[in-house]
Amino acid sequence: MLTALFGGTFDPVHYGHIHPAIALAKEIGLTQISLLPNQIPPHKPQPEATTEQRLEMLNLAIEDLPLFSIDTREISSEKLMRPSYTIETLEKWRKENGYQKGLAFIMGQDSLLSLPTWHKWQTLLDYCHLLICRRPGYAEKTDDMELQNWIDTHQTTNIKDLHDCPFGYIFFAHTPLENVSATEIRQNINNEQNYKNLLPTKVWHYIHQHALYNAKKK
């Protein structure tokens, strides 16, 4: 069985996470996706919601979706003051599970293009496959030749490779384009604009109840 981790800040979780992940699971035959909230995003300001609130919103979002579970290893790590470097999480996973089991890390196209700024990025494929979801506004090709060559070297279009090998491939999924970001949601809330159609209703209620992301209500 291929284990799939979907890392993110999830501040808040939205349909741009959920819908592509469901389609990806269908496309390649995943039975479980673990959402992996980070504690300290390596490349972003600290989230506005607390870790507990982001976790509660994730729990609400997946309540009726058995495909998803939550992996809390990054938020329950003893090194809470360190950025949540993905490579360290993957190393830890391999230490616990060995190298025979299949592991994949899911990300959006924007994250793939930012990979050269990630900690030890070229070694990620020694631990997992990368499953890439399409994202509006981000092209499949990059002008960064080092990254493009790396992608070309490791890309597969054969789903069987992902199941037969425990790590090492990059796969571009044919996921639906969801034009939403957490930034847009936070901005909409702050500007008192509608955002209800961008995330699960239970998460919307939670944000409303706790007056999250609204500077005027703080």
Ligand X SMILES: Nc1ncnc2c1ncn2[C@@H]1O[C@H](COP(=O)(O)OP(=O)(O)OP(=O)(O)O)[C@@H](O)[C@H]1O
Ligand Y SMILES: O=C(O)c1ccc[n+]([C@@H]2O[C@H](COP(=O)([O-])O)[C@@H](O)[C@H]2O)c1
Binding site partner of 16, from ligand Y, ligand X, none, Cβ cut-off 5-8 A by kind: ligand X
Token pair 């469901």 is found at: 22
Residue 16 binding ligand X, by CB under 6 A? yes
Report if residue 47 touches ligand Y, rule: CB under 6 A.
no
Name the pairing type of β-strands 68-70 and 102-108: unpaired
Least distance CB 40 / ligand X (angstroms):
13
| Torsions phi, psi for 5 (to 5 deg) | -105, 135
Given 183, 187, 193, 201, the residue binding ligand X (CB under 6 A): 183
Q: Is 71 in the site for ligand X (CB under 6 A)?
A: no
Q: Which does 42 bind (CB under 5 to 8 A by kind): ligand Y, ligand X, none?
A: ligand Y
The rounded distance, in Å, linking the Cα atoms of 32 and 34 is 7
Written as one letter, the residue type at 35 is: L
Q: Give residue for tokens 């020694």.
A: 126
Q: How many Cβ atoms are within 10 Å of 168's Cβ, its own excluded? A: 16
Bridge partners of 4?
33, 104
Stretch of 64-72, 143-151, 159-167, 178-186 lying at the interface with ligand X (CB under 6 A): 178-186
**Site of interaction with ligand Y (CB under 6 A):** 7-9, 36, 38, 41-44, 84-87, 111, 118-119
